[in-house]
Amino acid sequence: MKAIGIRTGASEPELLEVPRPDPESGQALVRTLRVGVDGTDREVIEGGHGGFPEGEDYLVLGHEAVGVVEDPNGTRFEAGDVVVPTVRRPPAGGENGYFARGEADMAPPEKTVERGIDGAHGFMSEYFLSEERFLIEAPPELAPRGFLIEPISITEKALELAYAARSTFEWEPDTAAVLGNGSLGLLTVAMLAREMDVYCLGRRDRPDPTIDFIEAQGGTYVDSRKTPVEQIPEEYEPVDLVYEATGYAKHAITSLYALAPNGVAALLGIPGDWEFEIDGGRFQREFVMENKAMVGSVNSGPEQFRAATGTLADLPADALDDLVTRVVDYRKFEGAFEQSDDVIKTAVQFGER
């Protein structure tokens, strides 16, 4: 079967011929429908994040997938069920407590592999296998957009952690700043704009589809070249919630200054090393005296996938149509991973239901 992957030492993905897998006991065989592309895929291709499966010279890409069960192989599924796989799997050494507790998303990097990202093949192939416990069922009508369940689940988890950090008092956020107008940031704008006033930070000139998207959701575009994150309170207003999705470490740190007292910042970006100076005294003082919180959040688990399925069903169809600017056939995937100003989110199509 065909798969989209990257070989060791290569700088571009290619269409590979790989063996069609046979399910073992406890695994279902899934026929792939669509797989989304995000900033992490680009980081993996550039070699800045993730790694190859042990002993292999290629990695099948893709971690935002939706498919249909082809062979249930004794699992709880029936042939034709629409399913979405979670991303993390036990590492080569086998099971550990995080997986046994169903908390793989809380495992440190050395206690897990991530399909399509780090140490395990992803879902950009005509078929893939998955253990039953790592497959989440989705309503058939969500199949065309089901690849958005994984990224939505990322935000479900980050918001859960943010709310948990504010759970000792009555906290009802009215305002949020989403840092980053990539696919994750904009999906989060669409989610949050239903409940609060949203600012979204980017570094683009008009006309730009991401700015149009932010404004169509009722949000306000903030240009980081004119308004650095710490000046959001003076230029606009202090915000109760920050959702950082740039991978630009300075924004993550200075997001503390964009927060209103008692606010919380959720950090999602995964930058490389970068040293810069900050006023540590001011940082700690504001953190403490204004009861602020910062949470880091990576990955997501089955409960957040289930919540994301409900969220996807509730999001307005026109917003989702504006977000997914491109669906490309897997045989003509060239360019699918490239970022350009007219593309927000790309999905690679492998099959139809």
Write out the residues near ligand BGC by the rule CB under 6 A. 38, 40, 63, 87, 114, 117, 150, 154, 298-299
Q: Do residues 155 and 243 lie in contact, with contact meaning Cβ atoms separated by under 8 Å? A: yes
Judged by CB, which is closer to ligand BGC: 182, or 219? 182
5, 30, 35, 40: residue in contact with Zn ion (rule CB under 5 A): 40
Work out whether strand 2-7 and strand 58-60 pair parallel, antiparallel, or are unpaired.
antiparallel
- Find the shortest distance in angstroms from Cβ 337 to Zn ion: 13
Give φ, ψ of 129 to 5 degrees. Answer: -100, 150
Judged by CB, which is closer to ligand BGC: 199, or 248? 248
Which does residue 117 touch among Zn ion, ligand NAP, ligand BGC, none (CB within 5 to 8 A, set by kind)? ligand BGC
Of 160, 145, 161, 62, the residue nearest 312 (C-alpha): 145
Closest residue to ligand BGC, based on beta-carbon distance: 40
SS3 label, residue 149: helix
Which does residue 203 touch among ligand NAP, Zn ion, ligand BGC, none (CB within 5 to 8 A, set by kind)? ligand NAP
In angstroms, what CA-CA distances link 268 with 140, 301, 327? 30, 16, 26
What is the distance between the alpha carbons of residues 155 and 159, in angstroms, rounded to a whole number?
Answer: 6
Judged by CB, which is closer to ligand BGC: 299, or 349? 299
Closest residue to ligand NAP, based on beta-carbon distance: 182
Which does residue 240 touch among ligand NAP, ligand BGC, Zn ion, none (CB within 5 to 8 A, set by kind)? none
In angstroms, what CA-CA distances link 344 with 106, 125, 182, 325? 29, 23, 7, 6
Helices (H), the chain: 39-46, 97-100, 149-165, 183-192, 209-216, 232-235, 249-258, 280-289, 302-314, 317-323
- Find the shortest distance in angstroms from Cβ 123 to Zn ion: 12
Judged by CB, which is closer to ligand NAP: 270, or 327? 270
Indicate whether 304 belongs to the interface with Zn ion (CB under 5 A).
no
- Find the shortest distance in angstroms from Cβ 40 to ligand BGC: 3
